[in-house]
Structure 1
Amino acid sequence: MAARKDLFSRALSLDPERLHFAAHSHHLWPDASFDGQVGAWLEANRFADRKWDRIFDEVVPEAQGHVARELSLPSPDSVVFAPNTHELLLRIVSGLERKPVRILSTDGEFHSFRRQSQRWEEAGEAVVTRVPLDPFDSFADRFVEAARGGGFDLILISQVFFRTGQLFDRIEDLAAFADPAGPWIILDGYHGFMAAPTDLSAVADRLFYVAGGYKYAMSGEGVCFLHAPPGFCPRPVITGWFAEFGDLEGPPGGVQYRADGGRFWGATFDASALYRFNAVRRMLDEAGLSTRDIAAHAQGLMQGFQDAVTAGAAGRLSEARLINPVAGERARARFLAFRHPDAQAWRARLLAADVIADVRDDTIRFGFGLYQDEADVARLVEVCRRTL
């Protein structure tokens, strides 16, 4: 399929000379998101005091439906929203009664969990076992084996690792260990949701899935979500007052909770992100664009860039180790990650040339999406040749 720059005319017109190859980081917003943002303002003022009826009767159910269809969930009622995934993580962990909490994870998780888990350890509230990603060829076996060994209350792992773009493909094996009595399993899907086709139908009753709209859902900040399996963490200790609306259950005279995913609701939030998300999803439906279509387009661009780097056409980038090369048609990250001691300097040189990539430690990442075409990749290759 061809690029769809027409869907991003507002964002692209604001800096026409920029080459934005950070679609995996701060994805440009499509025109539809502008319409969604305006719609949020108009409805907030049109409905005023009745705004929240509109949000919970129509806006939230529409967003839940989009998430459920994208992930093949059995019911949209398992989905709840929050401004960020950190809030959702805190609510899940608060429901674990054992202290310190025994956690199995990796040394490649995103900063929100990395920092929080380290602080829990400092405070004596958690004991964390981190399985190293390297060497990645044996990682999945090593991680599943650690989970099989038992003794954990919580297991948290990324679907796609944010720094390296490597994919964990043993989700069903891991979900087999889940139990309402523990362990609970959290799959961090932020670099998987709408980046690659994801079908959770076989494991939706056994694991939590957290992700958000900032990246491949093209909706910006504030529209993170949790899929919560039934029976797991029925009474999170950290709870907001929105969780007490609906069909409630709990001990007589005690704090009542919804039985569905709504048990994880927080409190008052900015709903404009939900409007943006719904508008983007409607845009994709109207354009006949699925995640599979967009991923295939991005993969073609990645393959072209990878081939140019391998051929030495992109300057010193050929000296770097490509951590997650394109290989076959399997699901993958929507970015290429190159490891080299000069990654930070390379990113600075590209930025000076109005080319946006991003860097994590010694790894420079190039992200690909719907608003890029072969001509953009050719320009990227030429800039890399001249500047690196």
Structure 2
Amino acid sequence: MLDLKAHFSRFLMCEQGRLHFAAHSHHPWPDVTRNAQLEAWDTAARLIDDKWDYVLGPLLDEVRRHVAGHLNLPDPATLVFAPNTHELLNRLLSCFPAGRRVRIVASDGEFHSFSRQIARLAEDGLVDPVVVAVEPFETFPDRLAEAARARADLVFVSQVFFNSGFAWEDFAALAAAAGEAMVVIDGYHGFLARPTDLSGVAGRCFYLAGGYKYAMSGEGVCFLHCPPGWAPRPRDTGWFAAFGALTASGDGRVAYPADGWRFMGATFDPTGLFRMRAAMRWLADQGLDAARIHAHARALGDRFLAALPLAGLTTERLLVDPSRHAIGNFLTFDLDGAAALYRRLHDAGILTDVRGRRLRFGFGLYQTAGDVDALIARMATLSA
């Protein structure tokens, strides 16, 4: 089993005795990202206005190549970056014609940045949402595909669901069922948590993710893979989109690049790109990819499950059984006293995450088998 704790020393040493098991919520950053943060400052001081030639040139190009490699994308130029996924979501929504409702098929397990926005648009009659229940998990892919066949304009669905950990990856079948609809995969809990091969759907599906979780790059650095030819003229467009190789419309309309650059916004803080490049280089130096990361997280999760029951937590309350279903890098328990148990764990120096009835334990590269043993021992004292 991997032991990479020394590479996360600055995060792990800040509070002695803290057991962080919320990798799915806020993943600690490797130490190399601190130097990258300083490099961003020094680059701004050295280049001032000229820094954008570097940021939007060599820096962005390298980060694109790293991300494309981890997703097996054939062309890094299909990737565009933004400070958050909500900004990219709104650009995607702006691609649909004005004056008619957009029929949106999504699950009931989408993250708030999507579900809240769609609910608000529905209040004004701008969208017509069709919600597919994620549970029962066994039939979800078929039920989602069936809903997508019924005149959808946009199909938006998570690769790994944030409130359960359930994962599915038959993107090609969904794309085939969706017909001419735009298909967007929210991969935030999947990118660098599970092996992801987009090569077969790179020309058909959008893929949305970012650096806050398993990419270990922190806030402010999210990305969108944009399949060529789909949604060529987003209405929500910033001045940075004018920097690419523009395709003239011939009728006096605003011109757009043909690659992912068509979804660019405006001025942003590039520090996250420096951190992501450092994290990606570190992964490469360690010989780490999503498959090894996922295997490590699953081994830690299995070690934890083998020790249950603890502090009233039992395997019977496990929402997604990893022996039956594909999951992300966290375990979710459904129980009446989830919030109370979360507080007990927090008071004992164990950081987890709670969403209503669901208590989540996340596993990542910064943890070892010894950390899981320490978690088990500390929870055992709560059981007494």
- Please indicate, yes or no, whether the TM-score normalized by the shorter chain is above 0.5: yes
Quote the RMSD (CA, aligned, Å): 1.4
Counterpart for residue 352 of structure 2:
357
- Correspondence 1:366 to 2:354: no
* Offset, 1:320: 5.4
1:306 counterpart SS class = helix
Alpha carbons 2:145, 2:177 under 8 Å: kept: no
- Correspondence 1:222 to 2:217: no
Alpha carbons 2:103, 2:129 under 8 Å: kept: yes
Counterpart for residue 383 of structure 1:
378
Counterpart for residue 244 of structure 2:
246
Distance in 2 between residues matched to 1:232 and 1:318, nearest whole Å: 46
- The percentage of counterpart residues that share the same residue type is 49
Aligned residue pairs total 381
The worse-fitting range, judged by mean Cα deviation, of 248-257 and 5-14 is: 248-257
Alpha carbons 1:320, 1:339 under 8 Å: kept: no
Alpha carbons 1:110, 1:162 under 8 Å: kept: yes
Counterpart for residue 144 of structure 1:
145
Distance in 2 between residues matched to 1:325 and 1:305, nearest whole Å: 13
Counterpart for residue 43 of structure 1:
43
TM (norm. structure 1) is: 0.95
Alpha carbons 1:249, 1:257 under 8 Å: kept: yes
Counterpart for residue 232 of structure 1:
230
Counterpart for residue 318 of structure 1:
314
Distance in 2 between residues matched to 1:144 and 1:152, nearest whole Å: 11
1:132 maps to a residue whose letter is: A
- Correspondence 1:327 to 2:323: yes
Counterpart for residue 169 of structure 1:
169
Counterpart for residue 340 of structure 1:
335
* Offset, 1:363: 0.4
Q: Please list the CA deviations of residues 237-295 of structure 1 after superposition, one character each: whole Å capped at 9, or x if unmatched.
A: 00000001121114232211111000000000000000000001101111222221121
Counterpart for residue 288 of structure 1:
287
* Offset, 1:112: 0.5
Distance in 1 between residues matched to 2:29 and 2:258, nearest whole Å: 35
1:323 counterpart SS class = coil
Q: Please list the CA deviations of residues 9-64 of structure 1 after superposition, one character each: whole Å capped at 9, or x if unmatched.
A: 11111112100000111001110110111110111111111100011111110111
Counterpart for residue 9 of structure 2:
9
Q: What are the within-5 Å matches in structure 2 for residues 126-275 of structure 1?
A: 126-148=127-149, 150-178=150-178, 182-252=180-250, 253-275=252-274
Counterpart for residue 52 of structure 1:
52
Unaligned ranges ≥5, structure 2: none
TM (norm. structure 2) is: 0.96
Counterpart for residue 107 of structure 2:
106
Distance in 1 between residues matched to 2:177 and 2:256, nearest whole Å: 26
Alpha carbons 1:196, 1:331 under 8 Å: kept: no
Distance in 2 between residues matched to 1:343 and 1:353, nearest whole Å: 15
* Regions of 4+ moved over 6 Å: none
1:305 maps to a residue whose letter is: F
